[in-house]
Amino acid sequence: MRVIRDTGWMVMRQARNLMREPIWIALLLIQPMIWLLLYGQLFSRVPSLRGGASTYVEFLLPGIVVMNAFFGGTWAGMSMIADLDRNVVSRFLATPVSRLSIVLSQVIRAGLTASIQALVILLVGLVLGVRVHAGVGGWIVVLVMGALVAMVFAGVSNAIALLVRNEATMIAAANFVGLPLVFLSATLIQKSVMPDWMSNLSRFNPVNWGVEATRDVVVVGGQWGDVGLYTLLLLALTAVTSGFATWTFRMYQRSL
Protein backbone atom coordinates (compact mmCIF):
# COMPACT_ATOMS: atom_id res chain seq x y z
CA MET A 1 0.00 0.00 0.00
CA ARG A 2 1.34 3.32 -1.14
CA VAL A 3 -0.02 5.17 1.94
CA ILE A 4 1.78 2.93 4.42
CA ARG A 5 5.02 2.89 2.46
CA ASP A 6 5.09 6.66 1.93
CA THR A 7 4.06 7.35 5.54
CA GLY A 8 6.97 5.18 6.65
CA TRP A 9 9.47 7.23 4.61
CA MET A 10 7.96 10.48 5.83
CA VAL A 11 8.12 9.44 9.49
CA MET A 12 11.75 8.40 9.02
CA ARG A 13 12.53 11.78 7.49
CA GLN A 14 11.05 13.61 10.47
CA ALA A 15 12.66 11.33 13.04
CA ARG A 16 16.06 11.75 11.39
CA ASN A 17 15.69 15.52 11.31
CA LEU A 18 14.80 15.60 15.01
CA MET A 19 17.81 13.44 15.85
CA ARG A 20 19.95 16.18 14.31
CA GLU A 21 18.79 18.65 16.99
CA PRO A 22 20.78 17.90 20.15
CA ILE A 23 19.04 20.64 22.13
CA TRP A 24 15.66 19.26 21.16
CA ILE A 25 16.68 15.78 22.33
CA ALA A 26 17.98 17.16 25.61
CA LEU A 27 14.73 19.03 26.24
CA LEU A 28 12.72 16.01 25.22
CA LEU A 29 14.40 13.97 27.92
CA ILE A 30 14.98 16.55 30.64
CA GLN A 31 11.63 18.33 30.58
CA PRO A 32 9.53 15.39 31.81
CA MET A 33 12.07 14.75 34.56
CA ILE A 34 11.87 18.35 35.73
CA TRP A 35 8.09 18.20 35.83
CA LEU A 36 8.15 14.95 37.74
CA LEU A 37 10.66 16.22 40.30
CA LEU A 38 9.26 19.74 40.60
CA TYR A 39 5.57 18.94 40.90
CA GLY A 40 6.45 15.88 42.95
CA GLN A 41 8.09 18.14 45.54
CA LEU A 42 5.51 20.90 45.30
CA PHE A 43 2.47 18.79 46.18
CA SER A 44 4.09 16.04 48.23
CA ARG A 45 2.94 17.51 51.57
CA VAL A 46 -0.76 17.45 50.60
CA PRO A 47 -1.86 13.84 51.10
CA SER A 48 -5.45 14.44 49.98
CA LEU A 49 -4.29 15.11 46.43
CA ARG A 50 -2.75 11.72 45.77
CA GLY A 51 -5.77 9.40 45.97
CA GLY A 52 -4.83 5.83 46.69
CA ALA A 53 -1.19 6.20 45.65
CA SER A 54 1.47 5.55 48.22
CA THR A 55 3.46 8.68 47.26
CA TYR A 56 2.56 11.80 45.33
CA VAL A 57 5.24 10.97 42.73
CA GLU A 58 3.51 7.66 42.07
CA PHE A 59 0.20 9.49 41.70
CA LEU A 60 1.79 12.18 39.52
CA LEU A 61 3.78 10.01 37.12
CA PRO A 62 0.81 8.99 34.92
CA GLY A 63 -0.28 12.64 34.79
CA ILE A 64 3.17 13.76 33.65
CA VAL A 65 3.24 11.09 30.94
CA VAL A 66 -0.08 12.29 29.56
CA MET A 67 0.68 15.99 29.99
CA ASN A 68 3.91 15.56 28.00
CA ALA A 69 2.10 13.65 25.31
CA PHE A 70 -0.62 16.27 25.23
CA PHE A 71 1.75 19.21 24.84
CA GLY A 72 3.89 17.33 22.32
CA GLY A 73 0.77 16.68 20.25
CA THR A 74 -0.44 20.27 20.58
CA TRP A 75 2.80 21.57 19.06
CA ALA A 76 3.00 18.97 16.29
CA GLY A 77 1.51 21.39 13.76
CA MET A 78 4.58 23.63 13.99
CA SER A 79 6.60 21.30 11.81
CA MET A 80 3.76 21.24 9.27
CA ILE A 81 3.93 25.04 9.12
CA ALA A 82 7.70 24.89 8.66
CA ASP A 83 7.26 22.43 5.76
CA LEU A 84 4.58 24.62 4.20
CA ASP A 85 6.69 27.75 4.55
CA ARG A 86 9.77 26.12 3.11
CA ASN A 87 7.95 24.73 0.08
CA VAL A 88 8.75 21.17 1.12
CA VAL A 89 5.05 20.37 0.89
CA SER A 90 4.70 21.84 -2.62
CA ARG A 91 7.71 19.85 -3.74
CA PHE A 92 6.09 16.66 -2.43
CA LEU A 93 2.74 17.55 -3.98
CA ALA A 94 4.24 17.59 -7.47
CA THR A 95 5.25 13.94 -6.93
CA PRO A 96 2.90 10.95 -6.80
CA VAL A 97 3.46 10.66 -3.02
CA SER A 98 0.35 9.71 -1.03
CA ARG A 99 -1.30 12.95 0.15
CA LEU A 100 -2.51 11.18 3.28
CA SER A 101 1.07 10.28 4.22
CA ILE A 102 2.04 13.96 4.50
CA VAL A 103 -0.50 14.47 7.31
CA LEU A 104 -0.36 11.00 8.89
CA SER A 105 3.42 11.06 9.24
CA GLN A 106 3.16 14.20 11.40
CA VAL A 107 0.60 12.51 13.64
CA ILE A 108 2.55 9.26 13.95
CA ARG A 109 5.80 11.09 14.63
CA ALA A 110 4.12 12.92 17.52
CA GLY A 111 2.89 9.58 18.87
CA LEU A 112 6.33 7.97 18.69
CA THR A 113 7.97 10.92 20.41
CA ALA A 114 5.43 10.78 23.23
CA SER A 115 6.05 7.04 23.71
CA ILE A 116 9.78 7.60 24.02
CA GLN A 117 9.16 10.34 26.57
CA ALA A 118 6.79 8.04 28.47
CA LEU A 119 9.52 5.42 28.65
CA VAL A 120 11.98 8.00 30.02
CA ILE A 121 9.45 9.06 32.64
CA LEU A 122 8.83 5.46 33.65
CA LEU A 123 12.56 4.88 34.05
CA VAL A 124 12.99 8.03 36.14
CA GLY A 125 9.99 6.89 38.17
CA LEU A 126 11.66 3.54 38.72
CA VAL A 127 14.66 5.34 40.22
CA LEU A 128 12.29 7.35 42.45
CA GLY A 129 10.69 4.13 43.64
CA VAL A 130 7.50 4.13 41.56
CA ARG A 131 6.21 0.66 40.82
CA VAL A 132 3.77 0.00 37.97
CA HIS A 133 1.19 -2.14 39.72
CA ALA A 134 -0.14 -3.75 36.53
CA GLY A 135 3.34 -5.06 35.67
CA VAL A 136 4.71 -5.38 32.13
CA GLY A 137 1.25 -4.97 30.61
CA GLY A 138 1.02 -1.71 32.55
CA TRP A 139 4.26 -0.43 31.05
CA ILE A 140 2.88 -1.11 27.58
CA VAL A 141 -0.39 0.67 28.43
CA VAL A 142 1.55 3.74 29.60
CA LEU A 143 3.50 3.88 26.32
CA VAL A 144 0.34 3.36 24.24
CA MET A 145 -1.58 6.02 26.17
CA GLY A 146 1.26 8.50 25.63
CA ALA A 147 1.15 7.78 21.90
CA LEU A 148 -2.65 7.99 21.64
CA VAL A 149 -3.05 11.24 23.56
CA ALA A 150 -0.26 12.80 21.47
CA MET A 151 -1.86 11.58 18.25
CA VAL A 152 -5.33 12.86 19.12
CA PHE A 153 -3.96 16.36 19.63
CA ALA A 154 -1.41 16.16 16.80
CA GLY A 155 -4.43 15.72 14.51
CA VAL A 156 -6.04 18.86 15.93
CA SER A 157 -2.76 20.73 15.86
CA ASN A 158 -2.09 19.87 12.21
CA ALA A 159 -5.61 20.88 11.29
CA ILE A 160 -5.10 24.27 12.96
CA ALA A 161 -1.70 24.61 11.28
CA LEU A 162 -3.24 23.95 7.87
CA LEU A 163 -6.07 26.39 8.49
CA VAL A 164 -4.07 29.31 9.90
CA ARG A 165 -0.68 28.62 8.20
CA ASN A 166 1.00 31.04 10.55
CA GLU A 167 3.24 30.28 13.53
CA ALA A 168 2.09 33.10 15.83
CA THR A 169 -1.60 32.22 15.45
CA MET A 170 -0.72 28.56 15.89
CA ILE A 171 1.05 29.27 19.21
CA ALA A 172 -1.91 31.32 20.46
CA ALA A 173 -4.37 28.57 19.50
CA ALA A 174 -2.25 25.86 21.17
CA ASN A 175 -2.05 27.84 24.41
CA PHE A 176 -5.74 28.57 24.30
CA VAL A 177 -6.72 24.90 24.34
CA GLY A 178 -3.67 23.66 26.25
CA LEU A 179 -3.88 24.73 29.88
CA PRO A 180 -7.68 24.44 30.33
CA LEU A 181 -7.60 20.83 29.17
CA VAL A 182 -4.81 19.97 31.60
CA PHE A 183 -6.61 21.56 34.54
CA LEU A 184 -9.94 20.04 33.54
CA SER A 185 -8.46 16.62 34.23
CA ALA A 186 -7.02 14.54 37.02
CA THR A 187 -3.52 15.20 35.71
CA LEU A 188 -2.23 16.97 38.81
CA ILE A 189 -4.81 16.24 41.49
CA GLN A 190 -7.25 13.45 42.12
CA LYS A 191 -10.78 13.80 40.93
CA SER A 192 -12.50 13.70 44.33
CA VAL A 193 -10.96 17.04 45.37
CA MET A 194 -12.06 18.79 42.15
CA PRO A 195 -15.24 20.96 42.12
CA ASP A 196 -18.20 18.92 40.87
CA TRP A 197 -18.67 20.80 37.60
CA MET A 198 -14.99 20.31 36.76
CA SER A 199 -15.07 16.66 37.60
CA ASN A 200 -18.17 16.24 35.40
CA LEU A 201 -16.62 18.11 32.48
CA SER A 202 -13.42 16.10 32.80
CA ARG A 203 -15.31 12.98 31.76
CA PHE A 204 -15.46 14.39 28.24
CA ASN A 205 -11.82 15.47 28.22
CA PRO A 206 -9.56 13.14 26.21
CA VAL A 207 -6.58 14.26 28.30
CA ASN A 208 -8.42 12.88 31.30
CA TRP A 209 -9.16 9.57 29.52
CA GLY A 210 -5.43 9.13 29.10
CA VAL A 211 -4.76 10.06 32.73
CA GLU A 212 -7.42 7.69 34.10
CA ALA A 213 -6.16 4.73 32.07
CA THR A 214 -2.52 5.39 32.87
CA ARG A 215 -3.24 5.90 36.56
CA ASP A 216 -5.24 2.68 36.65
CA VAL A 217 -2.27 0.63 35.54
CA VAL A 218 0.33 2.50 37.61
CA VAL A 219 -1.44 3.06 40.92
CA VAL A 220 -4.06 0.31 41.03
CA GLY A 221 -3.53 -2.36 38.38
CA GLY A 222 -5.92 -4.94 37.06
CA GLN A 223 -8.79 -2.69 35.90
CA TRP A 224 -8.44 -3.81 32.30
CA GLY A 225 -12.05 -3.10 31.35
CA ASP A 226 -11.72 0.63 32.02
CA VAL A 227 -8.31 0.72 30.36
CA GLY A 228 -9.76 -0.98 27.27
CA LEU A 229 -12.62 1.49 27.09
CA TYR A 230 -10.32 4.52 27.28
CA THR A 231 -8.04 2.97 24.65
CA LEU A 232 -10.95 2.53 22.27
CA LEU A 233 -12.21 6.05 22.91
CA LEU A 234 -8.78 7.53 22.23
CA LEU A 235 -8.30 5.38 19.11
CA ALA A 236 -11.64 6.54 17.75
CA LEU A 237 -10.83 10.15 18.53
CA THR A 238 -7.42 9.82 16.85
CA ALA A 239 -9.21 8.66 13.71
CA VAL A 240 -11.56 11.65 13.93
CA THR A 241 -8.87 14.30 14.46
CA SER A 242 -6.57 12.78 11.82
CA GLY A 243 -9.52 12.74 9.45
CA PHE A 244 -10.14 16.39 10.23
CA ALA A 245 -6.47 17.20 9.58
CA THR A 246 -6.65 15.37 6.25
CA TRP A 247 -9.71 17.39 5.32
CA THR A 248 -7.93 20.65 6.14
CA PHE A 249 -5.04 19.45 3.98
CA ARG A 250 -7.46 19.14 1.06
CA MET A 251 -8.64 22.68 1.81
CA TYR A 252 -5.04 23.83 1.69
CA GLN A 253 -4.50 22.08 -1.65
CA ARG A 254 -7.60 23.74 -3.04
CA SER A 255 -6.25 27.14 -2.02
CA LEU A 256 -3.04 26.67 -4.04
Site track for other proteins across 34-73, x = CB under 8 A: ----------------------------------------
For the CB of residue 95, give the shortest distance to other proteins in the complex, in Å: 5
93 forms part of the interface with other proteins (CB under 8 A):
yes
Of 62, 58, 66, nearest to 40 (Cα)?
A: 58
List, as one string, the DSSP characters of 227-241: HHHHHHHHHHHHHHH
For the CB of residue 200, give the shortest distance to other proteins in the complex, in Å: 45
Tell me which of 41, 54, 87, 192 binds other proteins, using CB under 8 A.
87
3-state secondary structure 164-177: HCCHHHHHHHHHHH
Contact indicator for 33, 120 with CB cutoff of 8 Å: yes
For the CB of residue 193, give the shortest distance to other proteins in the complex, in Å: 45
Of 67, 111, 31, 59, nearest to 207 (Cα)?
A: 67
92 forms part of the interface with other proteins (CB under 8 A):
yes
Neighbours of 182 (CB within 10 A): 19
20 forms part of the interface with other proteins (CB under 8 A):
yes
Tell me which of 22, 95, 197, 204 binds other proteins, using CB under 8 A.
95
Tell me which of 22, 96, 195, 225 binds other proteins, using CB under 8 A.
96
Maximum separation of any 2 CA atoms in the chain, in Å: 59
> How far is Cα 8 from Cα 168, in angstroms, rounded to an integer?
30
For the CB of residue 167, give the shortest distance to other proteins in the complex, in Å: 16
15 forms part of the interface with other proteins (CB under 8 A):
no
203 forms part of the interface with other proteins (CB under 8 A):
no
CA distances from 124 to 5, 22, 64, 117 (A): 35, 20, 12, 11
6 forms part of the interface with other proteins (CB under 8 A):
yes
Positions in the binding site for other proteins (CB under 8 A): 6, 9, 13, 16-17, 20-21, 86-88, 90-97, 253, 256
